[in-house]
Amino acid sequence: MSDSPIAVEHGPELRHHFASVEQQRDAASLGMWLFLATEIMFFGGMFCAYLIYRMWYFNEFAAGSRSLNLKWGTINTIVLICSSLTVALGVRAAQMGKRKLLVILLILTIVFGLAFLGIKGIEWHEKYEHHHIPGASFDATALEKPPYSNGGIDPSHEQIYFSLYFAMTGLHALHMIIGVGIFAFLLFHAWKGRYTPQYNTPIEIGGLYWHFVDIVWIYLFPLLYLIDRKPLG
């Protein structure tokens, strides 16, 4: 349908309005980077709220942080780092045209992603059982304040910590769910052999998205879990 002679030489993946495959790939990749800039601002609003309240309500934040399950948090961090590795290897596999390897790596990524979500679910359930979910049944009495601090714990300020905890991890989990969806889509097409050394932009930009979601967690983990983990003594 295109009158451009270049388009005829290339496969059907070149859309009519681009002059060349390179231009198309550059555009897609720039688009993804810009989208990630948008995402940074999106999470940025919450990080801003987090910083302000953490400054004001440090004791409550420290106490809330202590109540999180460090074991699961750490495991989840490792799971996500592994998933980033499989994504990076997957991009390479796609570039080298190794279809089978690509499919395996994409499956692994999805498994890691689901594992992360499952563990997150366990943690949230724990919070639910401890009445740490903001709302009418919120109960902060069992929380221990930092031992070196003489300040107290104000339940309404403690709720702010858990509000932010659920808002931030919830939003991150939502991004993970979207990411798993994207990778399922990529897996389907990879399995059909659509990605070649010449054309693998979707894997590349899907990977960018996945890495971004990982990086958000790399910030969330210390900010939420490690506020005050000095050994009790």
Partner 1 sequence: MFDNFPLWPARASTGAGNVDALYIFLVLLASFMSLAIFTMITVFALKYHRRHGREAEQIEGSHALEITWSVVPLAIFMTIFAWGAVIYFQERTPPRGATEVYVVAKQWMWKLEHPEGQREINELHVPVGRDVKLIMTSQDVIHSFYIPAFRIKQDVLPGRYTTQWFRATKPGVYHLFCAEYCGSQHSGMIGQVVVMEPAKYEAWLAGGTTSGSLASNGESIFQQLGCSTCHRSDTQGRGPNLAGVFGKPVQLEDGRIVVADENYLRESITSPSAKVVSGFKPIMPVFQGLVSEEQLNALVAYVKSLNPASAGAQQQGPKE
Partner 2 sequence: MATAAITTEREHYLNKEYGIRSWLLTTDHKRIALLYLISITFFFFIGGFFALLIRLELLTPAGDLVQADTYNKLFTMHGMVMIFFFLIPSIPAVLGNFLVPMMIGAKDLAFPRINLLSWYLYIIAGIMMLHCMVTGGVDTGWTFYTPFSTAFTNTKVIEAGLSVFVAGFSSILTGLNFVVTIHRMRAPGMTWSRLPLFIWAHYATSIIQLLGTPVLAVTLVLVVCERVLGLGIFDPNRGGDPLLFQHLFWFYSHPAVYIMILPSMGVVAEIVPCFSRKRIFGYQAVALSSIAIAVFGFLVWAHHMFVAGISLYSAMIFSILSYLVAVPSAIKVFNWTATMYKGSVTFSTPMLYAFGFIGLFTMGGLTGLFLACLGIDVHVTDTYFVVAHFHYIMVGGAVMGYLGGMHFWWPKISGRLYPEWLGKFAALIVFLGFNLTFFPQFILGYLGMPRRYWQYPAEFQVLNVMSTAGSTILAVGYVLPMVYFLWSMRYGKIADENPWGAAGLEWKTASPPPTFNFEETPEVTWEAYNYDQIPAPAEVLIER
How many residues would you count in the chain?
A: 233
User: Applying CB under 8 A, which part among 111-119, 132-140, 188-196, 203-211 lies near partner 2?
Assistant: 132-140
Q: 55 is in the binding site of which of partner 1, partner 2, none (Cβ under 5 to 8 A by kind)?
A: none
Whether 198 contacts 21, CB under 8 Å:
yes
For residue 58, give the amino acid letter: F
User: Applying CB under 8 A, which part among 50-58, 116-124, 127-135, 204-212 lies near partner 1?
Assistant: 50-58
Of residues 115 through 144, those in contact with partner 1 by CB under 8 A are none
- Around Cβ 147, how many Cβ atoms within 10 Å? 11
Q: 52 is in the binding site of which of partner 2, partner 1, none (Cβ under 5 to 8 A by kind)?
A: partner 2
End-to-end CA distance of the chain: 74
Q: What is the DSSP letter of 152?
A: -
Identify the CA nearest to 46 among candidates 211, 212, 160: 160
Could you tell me the smallest distance in angstroms from the CB atom of residue 211 to partner 2? Answer: 19
Q: Which residues of 165-195 are buried (b: 16+ CB within 10 A; e: fewer)?
A: bbebbeebbebbeebbebbeebbeebeeebb
147 touching partner 1, by CB under 8 A: no
Whether 77 contacts 112, CB under 8 Å:
no
Could you tell me the smallest distance in angstroms from the CB atom of residue 31 to partner 2? Answer: 5
E strand or H helix that includes residue 33: helix 21-56
150 touching partner 1, by CB under 8 A: yes
Could you tell me the smallest distance in angstroms from the CB atom of residue 145 to partner 2? Answer: 16
Q: What is the DSSP letter of 145?
A: P
188 touching partner 1, by CB under 8 A: no
136 touching partner 2, by CB under 8 A: yes
Binding-site member from 14, 32, 102, 153 for partner 1 (CB under 8 A): 153
User: Applying CB under 8 A, which part among 41-49, 87-95, 179-187, 192-200 lies near partner 2?
Assistant: 41-49
Phi-psi region for residue 144, left (φ > 0), alpha (ψ -120 to 50) or beta? beta
Binding string, 139-158, against partner 2, x = CB under 8 A? ---------------x-xxx
Instruction: Return all residues near 126 (Cβ < 8 A) that are at least 6 apart.
Output: 69
The binding site for partner 1 (CB under 8 A) comprises 56-59, 149-157
The binding site for partner 2 (CB under 8 A) comprises 3, 15-19, 23, 26-27, 30-31, 34-35, 37-39, 41-46, 48-49, 52-53, 57, 134-136, 154, 156-160, 163-164, 166-167, 171
